[in-house]
Each structure stands twice: as structure tokens, then as C-alpha cells.
């Protein structure tokens, strides 16, 4: 079924919306969640929670042209929280690693105040991604949105792990410089 | 804000980007590949076409003709004003080549084309390979030191006690075989030897003012010819009227005369022809702007000159006229030419490719991000990056590439690339086959306490043989080992 039609079902409060969304995107969402939580049962729970969240969020949202991204964002958010709440040691270590990498992008990480609101930060990140070439952008998104491991990204793009590491290192530096240059106080 | 919060905020990445990254790209095929979608070569000058001199009274008419001319010959108008386009057009069509922007146009002119080539894959070295390599390397250094024949440049200074100043006394060459000195040349006292070439009947050396002398470092250029026993045959100082002039290369011509390539006042390309007896018999200078040049190889009809740091070469006739210039560049890689050979109507350029880095000056910091990565690791965690992690990173930066170009048009016909390899050297063996010796990176060490470089990189040399048709007919690992610093 077309995304637009599925969204119409959500808007009409038709529970078929959930089964249609699950049929079309369930596997991908479960896979995304599994990549974060590393446990299939938990991933299935996160997937189910995603449909519930989507049910509550549509309306007011109407993601007719970006339904997968909309659902995936919810899955990512739930999976990350789930991972932190349950303190899964292995996955927690990766989240810590990713958090440390993200910290390198923050011009002044020790500032107590967070002066930049979410919308501005989102705009800034997307503006930055807009200037990257396609491969670098996709590698960045796979790492920090999908939370993939370096090894998986390298395999997926047919690159060496060294190249992926260097690419991410460059991207983080560029993002930090970008935020600083643009005057964002994160 | 802390890192984990920013990680959460990444959820605000535009759905379009998220969607685009949701599927990995299809795998690339190894082996034959179309590497350089934009690998470019261009013929920028066609003297043989016999252009007439166009004289249009109306500026607009001339401008239109100039633009058409640029388009016809795929010349770049990048950064040129309307006036400059007309002037370059006039300069080329009148064959005067005296306008400074003309050379820039040559260098900037790039046309795109797809070139097919072959990727020669070498296995990544294993830890066992590396251990064996280091053991061999240490033995090799001792072995080589006892057998090699080489020359050494020496400068002599005398200390003036009263002024505590070291005054230049003279410069000479020493020839060694292993540790034994074979001869010491006569001393030249009015310039410091910086380079030398072994020629058919001796050694020709050249240089300029001594490093510690007052005044400009390149105030003048001088040449001295030694015979096979180190005696001075002749000595000359170049007198071309420049405030600064330095010699970039000297080539022995087939008739025993010498082609002396020099750069005047940082903007003139100069070629002087000297007889075997040291008499200057021809000189021509061409203003080409701030473009340095380096190695030169002769061909039947003139010389191929490498433009330093410009990914390009110039074709020059015996009189020093620039016949053509060819640029080589791809969309995301830069090619540093390390050696050249002209053979059977083709120019073979040994280069190494590194990714372009808009944040770093060209060529100077090809490993800048690896430097930053290693330095950050050292600063934050107090540990040196391991050889095991560093070596693949450095291998990933370099690819040795052999470009096979048409001598007439400069167009790249094909290429061979060796990922993980640094520069290569070219020669022709007794059977007339081309030999390409490539440095395959074996091991790299981070040495932050050294003052002049951070990485010490060791290579083993592989040899590739091409027959006279340019086909690859053999490859083998040699006993040679090399190293370089970055």
C-alpha cells in the first residue's frame, strides 16, 4: 500500500493502518531497533511501541511523503531509551562510544547552558549534511542516525574500516567547525 | 550539551537523508574499473594547425571569436576577464606566447573523459610479513651500505673567530663505493653545489649562492662540469638578467650538449642550450607565471617538463617553446607525478594519487587527517596509535597510478593502479620493456617525538614489466626496501 494511503488510515483512526505499516516497514524497523538494542525480543517490543507512538502522533503529523523516516525516527528514539534504561552492558558501551564521538562535534561541550533550541540545531545539522557529498552524508547518517558499527558501515559501502573511521573523523571535525563558524552555541 | 544529548538530537536529521541512507549502495567490482570518470587530459595548443593572426576591429567580435576558440579547444575561461580572454586568444593565435595568463589557461584547461584501467591488487601485509620485513630491512641496510656507489655533496666553511661567523670556502663532490672514497672533486669557490647528474663523460653539478651567505638564496645559478675523475672541465654562471634564477634540471642531449632548465624571477620558464664545451648556444625565456617545474625527460622533438604541484606537464621543443600543456586530475583525487618516461609514442607518468582535501594545502598534508586522528588519540588517551591500526589507514590514503598518455595529444589512454602503494620509478630495460617499480606500503609507525615528521613508513618494492605495446607482462616482489617520512 502507498504511504499516503497508510497515513490516511492513521488519520481516519483505522487500526488497519498499523497492520499495513507493519507489513510494509516492520522488518526494517525491527532491524533498525535490533542494531541498537542487540536483542530480538526487545527489538520487537520497540517496533510495537513505534506503532503505538505513531498512532498517537498522526494526527497532528501527516507524514505522507516520509512515512518510513517518521516511523524509523520513533523506533530509534524508543530503542535508544530502552537501551539506556536497561543498561545493557554491550550496547551501552557502543552508545557511550557514539556519545563520545558526538561530543567531538560540540564546540564548547562543558557549557552548562544549552542555548540552542532543537529546531535551530536540527536546521544546523541538516544544513551541514547538505554540504557533504552523498557518500560521506550516508556514512554519517548510518553511524549517527542508524547507529551502525564501523564494521557494518565498511561492509555496506565496500570500504575499509580505516576509510570509514577517517571519513567520520573528518565529518565530526567539519560539523564542529561548522557549528562554531555559524555561531551556534550548542 | 553533552555527546549523548547530541546523539539523541541526530533524530532530527532530515527524513530525506535518512531515507537515502536506508539502503547500502551496490558493491563495486574489483579488477577492471572505470576509475577516473573525470580523469582529465587536454591538449591546449595545436601549433601545427597554422592559426592565422586575427585582427578584428570590433572588440565584441574579437571576444566572440575568442570564446569560440576557447570552446573549440576546450580551454578554460575560469577566472579570466573579458579582456584577458581576448589577450590569451591573441597570444595563442599569434604564436607569441608572451602573455602571462596564457600559461595559466593551459594549466587550468581540463576536459573530462572516462578512462579505463586496471587495478593491480596486492594483499595487505600480515603481521608475519611485517615481522619478516623488519628483520630483512635491518640486514639490508648493512648490506647496501657496503656495496653501493654514490656521490656526496660537501660544503666547506671557515670560522671567522673575530665575528663568530662561518664563511663559505667552497663546495665539492665526493664519490664513494660503499664506505670507501673513490675521489674528491676540485673545489668550486663561488657557488654551493646543490644537485648533480652523472653524465656520459663525468658529472655535471649545479647550484647557487651558499646557504649562509647574505642576500637572496637564488640570486644566481651556476654550473660546473667534472670529468670522470672529479677534475673541473668547465664552469659557468648563468647571466640572463634576472634578479633571481635557479636551475631546476639539466638534461644531457644525444649529441653530448646540455639542456639547462631554469626559472627566472619566479615567473619565467627558461631553457638554455649549452655545448659539450660549456658555451651557451641558445636561450629562450617564456613568462608562465607562478608555476614551478621539476623533472624533465627528453623525447624525439624536445622535452617533457613536469609542472610542480600542478598535476600537469608541458611539452617543450629544443628551442624552449612551450608546444602544449596537459593536466591530469580527477574529481576527488590529486596526482603527484614522481617519474616520467617517453617510449614508443607514449608518455608514461608514474604518479601517486591521494584524496583531495579542501581543508589542506595541496600535497603538503596528504596525511593531515591521519595526523589529527593519531595526535588526538595521543593527546586524549596518552597512547600512540598502534602500527596495526596506522598501517591500513596510511595504505588507504595512497594509490600508485601509472598513467599511459598519448605523446601527441596528452590524452590518457589507460592507467594501472596499485592501492596501498606510494610512488613508483620508471626505467627501460635492455629488451626495451618498461619497468615500473612501485613502493608497496608495509608498515607505518607513529613517532611523535621526532621533530620533522610524525610517521615513518616502510615499503617493499614491487616491479611491474610492460612490453613495447604497453601490455602488463609481469609482476614480482623485489628485494628492495624503501622508506619515507610524513
Alpha carbon distance B319, B303 (integer Å) = 10
**B312-316 and B322-327: which strand pairing?**
antiparallel
- For CA atoms B387, B363, B485, B339, the dihedral sign is positive
d(CA B251, CA B260): 7
DSSP state of A107: S
Short-list B30, B7, B392, B380, CA closest to A165: B392
Q: Is B9 within 8 Å of A160 when comparing Cβ atoms?
A: no
- Answer whether A18's CB lies under 8 Å from A25's CB: no
Convert the pLDDT of each residue in B356-377 to its tens digit: 665 555 555 577 778 777 777 7
Q: What values do phi and psi take at B271, rounded to 5?
A: -130, 120
* Helices A150-157/A161-181 angle, 10° precision: 110
- Among A42-46, A139-143, B156-160, B269-273, whose mean pLDDT is lowest? B156-160
- What confidence score (pLDDT) does residue B128 get? 66
- 8 Å CB contact of B18 and A100: no
Let me know how long chain B is.
486
Give the range among A38-52, B43-57, B279-293 with minimum mean pLDDT.
Answer: B43-57
Residue located via cell numbers 553533552:
B2
Among residues B21, B13, B88, B4, which one has the least CA distance to residue B51? B88
Is B367:B394 a contact under the CB 8 Å cutoff? yes
Sign of CA dihedral B64, B66, B69, B73: negative
- pLDDT reported for residue B258: 96
Mean pLDDT to the nearest integer, A144-153: 85
Query: Rounded distance, CA B11 to CA B2, Å?
Result: 15
Please answer whether residues B109 and B327 qualify as being in contact, where contact means their C-beta atoms are separated by less than 8 angstroms. Answer: yes
Q: Cβ(B439)–Cβ(B338) under 8 Å?
A: no
Question: Which H or E run includes A135?
Answer: helix A134-144
Does residue A15 have a pLDDT over 50?
A: yes
Q: Is B13 on the interface with A (CB under 8 A)?
A: yes
Residues of A in contact with B22 (CB under 8 A): 28, 68, 72, 146
Three cell numbers, residue B59: 572588440
Among A125-134, B45-54, B110-119, B456-465, the range scoring the smallest mean pLDDT is B45-54
How many Å apart are CA A145 and CA A31, to the nearest integer?
13
> Which of B6, B12, B22 is opposite residue A106, by nearest beta carbon?
B6
Name the grid cell of A94.
Answer: 557502543
User: Which residues of chain B have a CB within 8 Å of the CB of A109?
Assistant: 1-3
**What residue of A is the nearest CA neighbor of B398?**
A163
User: What is the distance between the alpha carbons of residues B263 and B469, in angstroms, rounded to a whole number?
Assistant: 36
Which of A104, A138, A139 to mutate to test binding with chain B, by most B CBs within 10 Å of its CB? A138
Strand order in the sheet with B293-299: B293-299, B302-307, B312-316, B322-327
Nearest-CA distance from A126 to chain B in Å? Answer: 6
More confident residue, B166 or B453: B166
Q: How many helices (H) and strands (E) does chain B have?
A: 8, 25
Find out whether B352 and B366 touch, Cβ atoms under 8 Å.
Answer: no
Whether the Cβ atoms of residue A17 and residue A9 lie closer than 8 Å to each other: yes
Instruction: Answer yes or no: is pLDDT of B439 > 60.
Output: yes
Per the listing, cell 592507467 goes with B415
Strand partners, B33: B117
DSSP state of B147: H
Taking CB atoms and an 8 Å limit, are B11 and A99 in contact across chains?
no
A137/A164 Cα distance (integer angstroms): 12
Q: What percent of chain B has pLDDT over 70?
A: 73
pLDDT of A141 strictly over 70: yes
Instruction: Report chain A residues whose CB lies below 8 A from the CB of B27.
Output: 158
Sign of CA dihedral B167, B173, B178, B179: negative
pLDDT, tens only, B375-386: 777 777 777 788
- Asked if the Cβ–Cβ distance from A129 to B16 is below 8 Å, we say no
CA-to-CA distance for B407 and B302, rounded, in angstroms?
11
Lookup result for grid cell 651500505: B145
Residue of A nearest to B24 (CA): A156
Q: Give Cα separations from B382 to B385, B428, B448, B456 (angstroms).
A: 10, 49, 12, 19
pLDDT beyond 80 at A121: no
Using the Cβ of B364 and the Cβ atoms of chain A, whether some distance falls under 8 Å is answered with: no
Mean pLDDT: which of A128-142, B209-223, B462-476 is highest?
A: A128-142
Tell me which long-range contacts B76-80 makes (C-beta under 8 A, separation of at least 24): B76/B105, B76/B108, B76/B109, B76/B110, B77/B105, B78/B108, B79/B104, B79/B108, B80/B105
Nearest chain A residue to B377 by CA distance is A169
B393 touches chain A (CB under 8 A): yes
Q: In this complex, is the C-beta atom of B12 within 8 Å of any C-beta atom belonging to chain A?
A: yes
Here the cell at position B111 is 576536459
**Average pLDDT value for residue range A89-106:** 67
Residue B436 has pLDDT above 90, yes or no: yes
Between strands B115-119 and B32-36, the pairing is antiparallel
Q: Please tell me the predicted confidence (pLDDT) of residue B183.
A: 93
* Residue B28: pLDDT over 50: no
> What residues of chain A lie within 8 A of the CB of B20, using their CB?
134, 137-138, 141
Task: Identify which has the larger pLDDT, A147 or B279.
Answer: B279
Contact A170 B369 (CB under 8 A): yes
Kindly list the distances between the CA atom of residue B84 and the CA atoms of B77, B102, B327, in Å, as whole numbers in the listed order.
Answer: 9, 9, 21
In this structure, are strands B333-343 and B232-237 parallel, antiparallel, or unpaired?
Answer: unpaired
| Pairwise CA distance, residues B191 & B368, whole Å | 37
Rounded-to-integer distance, Cα B438 and Cα B465, Å: 11
Residue that is written with C-alpha cell 609507525 in the block: B445
Amino acid at each position: 500500500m502507498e504511504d499516503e494511503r497508510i497515513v490516511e488510515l492513521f488519520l481516519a483512526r483505522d487500526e488497519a493502518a498499523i497492520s499495513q505499516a507493519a507489513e510494509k516497514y516492520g522488518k526494517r524497523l525491527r532491524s533498525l531497533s535490533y542494531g541498537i538494542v542487540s536483542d530480538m525480543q526487545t527489538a520487537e517490543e520497540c517496533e510495537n511501541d513505534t506503532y503505538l507512538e505513531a498512532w498517537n502522533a498522526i494526527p497532528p503529523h501527516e507524514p505522507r511523503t516520509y512515512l518510513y523516516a517518521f516511523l524509523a525516527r520513533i523506533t530509534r528514539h524508543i530503542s535508544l531509551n530502552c537501551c539506556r534504561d536497561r543498561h545493557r552492558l554491550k550496547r551501552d558501551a557502543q552508545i557511550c562510544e557514539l556519545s563520545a564521538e558526538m561530543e567531538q562535534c560540540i564546540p564548547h561541550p562543558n557549557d552548562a547552558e544549552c542555548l540552542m533550541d532543537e529546531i535551530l540545531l536540527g536546521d544546523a545539522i541538516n544544513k551541514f549534511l547538505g554540504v557533504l557529498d552523498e557518500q560521506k552524508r550516508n556514512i554519517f547518517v548510518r553511524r549517527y542516525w542508524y547507529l551502525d558499527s564501523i564494521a557494518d558501515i565498511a561492509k555496506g559501502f565496500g570500504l575499509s574500516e580505516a576509510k570509514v573511521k577517517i571519513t567520520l573523523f573528518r565529518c565530526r571535525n567539519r560539523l564542529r567547525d561548522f557549528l562554531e563558524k555559524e555561531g551556534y552555541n550548542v | 550539551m553533552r555527546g549523548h544529548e547530541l546523539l539523541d538530537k541526530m533524530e532530527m536529521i532530515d527524513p530525506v537523508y535518512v531515507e537515502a541512507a536506508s539502503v547500502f549502495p551496490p558493491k563495486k567490482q574489483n579488477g577492471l574499473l572505470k576509475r577516473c570518470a573525470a580523469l582529465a587530459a587536454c591538449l591546449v595548443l595545436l601549433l601545427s594547425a597554422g592559426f592565422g593572426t586575427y585582427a578584428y576591429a570590433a572588440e565584441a567580435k574579437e571576444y566572440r571569436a575568442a570564446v569560440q576558440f576557447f570552446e573549440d579547444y576546450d580551454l578554460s575561461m575560469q577566472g579570466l576577464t573579458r579582456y584577458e580572454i581576448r589577450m590569451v586568444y591573441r597570444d595563442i593565435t599569434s604564436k607569441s606566447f608572451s602573455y602571462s595568463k596564457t600559461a595559466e589557461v593551459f594549466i587550468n584547461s581540463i576536459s573530462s573523459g572516462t578512462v579505463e584501467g586496471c587495478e593491480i591488487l596486492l594483499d595487505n601485509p600480515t603481521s608475519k610479513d611485517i615481522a619478516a620485513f623488519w628483520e630483512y630491512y635491518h640486514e639490508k641496510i648493512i648490506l647496501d651500505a657496503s656495496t653501493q656507489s654514490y656521490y656526496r655533496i660537501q660544503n666547506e666553511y671557515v670560522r671567522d673567530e673575530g665575528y663568530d661567523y662561518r664563511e663559505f670556502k667552497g663546495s665539492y663532490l665526493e664519490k664513494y663505493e660503499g664506505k670507501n672514497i673513490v675521489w674528491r672533486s676540485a673545489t668550486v669557490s663561488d657557488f654551493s653545489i646543490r644537485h648533480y647528474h652523472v653524465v656520459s663523460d663525468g658529472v655535471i653539478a649545479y647550484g647557487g649562492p651558499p646557504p649562509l651567505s647574505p642576500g637572496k638564496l637564488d640570486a644566481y645559478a651556476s654550473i660546473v662540469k667534472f670529468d670522470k675523475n672529479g677534475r673541473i672541465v668547465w664552469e659557468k654562471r648563468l647571466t640572463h638578467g634576472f634578479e633571481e634564477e635557479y636551475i631546476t634540471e639539466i638534461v644531457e642531449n644525444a649529441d653530448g650538449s646540455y639542456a639547462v632548465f631554469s626559472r627566472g624571477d619566479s615567473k619565467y620558464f627558461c631553457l638554455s642550450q649549452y655545448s659539450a664545451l660549456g658555451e651557451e648556444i641558445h636561450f629562450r625565456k617564456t613568462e608562465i607565471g607562478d608555476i614551478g617545474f621539476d623533472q624533465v625527460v627528453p623525447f624525439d622533438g624536445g622535452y617533457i617538463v613536469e609542472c610542480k604541484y600542478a598535476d600537469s606537464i608541458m611539452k617543450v621543443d629544443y628551442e624552449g617553446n612551450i608546444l602544449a600543456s596537459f593536466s591530469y586530475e580527477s574529481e576527488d583525487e590529486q596526482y603527484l607525478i614522481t617519474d616520467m618516461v617517453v617510449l614508443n609514442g607514449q608518455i608514461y607518468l608514474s604518479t601517486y594519487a591521494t584524496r583531495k582535501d579542501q581543508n589542506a594545502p595541496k600535497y603538503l598534508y596528504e596525511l593531515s587527517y591521519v595526523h589529527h586522528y593519531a595526535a588526538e588519540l595521543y593527546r586524549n588517551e596518552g597512547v600512540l596509535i598502534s602500527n596495526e591500526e596506522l598501517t591500513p589507514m596510511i595504505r588507504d590514503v595512497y594509490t600508485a597510478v601509472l598513467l599511459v598518455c598519448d605523446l601527441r595529444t596528452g590524452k590518457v589512454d589507460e592507467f594501472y593502479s596499485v592501492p596501498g602503494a606510494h610512488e613508483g620509478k620508471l626505467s627501460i630495460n635492455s629488451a626495451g620493456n618498461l619497468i615500473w617499480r612501485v613502493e608497496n606500503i608495509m608498515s607505518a609507525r607513529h613517532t611523535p617525538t621526532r621533530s620533522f615528521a610524525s610517521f615513518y613508513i616502510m615499503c617493499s618494492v614491487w616491479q611491474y614489466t610492460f612490453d613495447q605495446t604497453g601490455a602488463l607482462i609481469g609482476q614480482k616482489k623485489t628485494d628492495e626496501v624503501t622508506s619515507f617520512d610524513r
